[in-house]
Amino acid sequence: MRTTRLPEGVAVPVLGQGTWHMGERISERALEIKALRLGIERGMTLIDTAEMYAEGGAEAVVAEAIKGQRDKVFLVSKVYPHNATRTGTVQACERSLRRLGTDYIDLYLLHWRGQVPLPETVEAFEQLRQQGKIRHWGVSNFDLDDMLELADDRCAANQVLYNLAFRGIEFDLLPWSIRQPMPVMAYCPLSQGNQMLRHPALLTVAERLEVTPAQVALAWVLRQPGVIAIPKAVKPEHVQQNAGALDIVLGEAEQALLDAAFPPPQSKCPLAVI
């Protein structure tokens, strides 16, 4: 497993596992737990979740998946903006800890900006760090102007939407993050639904390399230094395919074909959010 480093020097996998929409259906629970455990076996030990996902249901699924192997996992969770006050952040974190069945979260993120002033949320994050309840903190869905306003080198990561169909961060946010250096966590690296994965350019590259379109899309995201991808998978074959994307090298011809189909931004774009 390739790794990248947080600003404080901690190495984390560049390929992890997402849990958005997990914990929503009891009938899927056993499959979700099994998929996360398989991912851990394949080295995808970074697991991303949030109190928002199934209103804590995804955190409960993660708790089952990591039971007995917490020390192998780099655990990421997120706090709702409306909970991100001085006291609300601490209380939300404690609820997440109970659902996750652990006494610390490796990386705790502000899910998106709300009405609470950033310094207040940061103060709560630092309090949680001092108490040992979180190891690092960061943000999610922050554009460059948000990061410049935050202006805090204790911020460990920024989680944003990034895939072939949404490349806007490449104009300014991603280059800035690489210079810091601070990892960008790409959520929905395979987009949502299958429309992007059915694009003729992806199909062509996949056929040329004898891999799946999803693997091409994931390898494309992982080509960037300092980018962490967190695809969600429930089917075992999808977990295995995600892990296999690490071995795919896109040549200049493949890169050019994808750039023609999904052009990089030529000017500032509003931050894409799902």
d(CA 229, CA 142): 17
Please, are residues 261 and 200 in contact by the beta-carbon 8 Å criterion? yes
**Tokens of residue 29, six digits:** 């629970």
Q: 210: Cβ–Cβ under 8 A, 6 or more apart, which residues?
A: none
What b/e sequence results for 32-57 when a residue is b if at least 16 CB atoms lie within 10 Å of its CB, and e otherwise?
Answer: bbbbbbbbbebbbbbbbbbbbbbebb
Q: Residue 111, annotated ligand binder?
A: yes
Helix, strand, coil share (%) of the chain residues, nearest 5: 45, 15, 35
* Burial of residue 164, with CB atoms counted within 10 A of its CB: 0-12 exposed, 13-18 middle, 19 or more buried: buried
d(CA 65, CA 63): 6
108 is annotated as an active-site residue: no
d(CA 114, CA 117): 8
Angle between helix 252-261 and helix 200-209 axes, rounded to 10 deg = 160
* Residue position matching structure tokens 């960008």: 184
d(CA 163, CA 77): 21
Q: Which of 53, 108, 162, 187 is catalytic?
A: 53
Active site residue ranges: 53
Q: Which residues are annotated as a binding site?
A: 111
Q: Which residues are annotated as a binding site for substrate?
A: 111
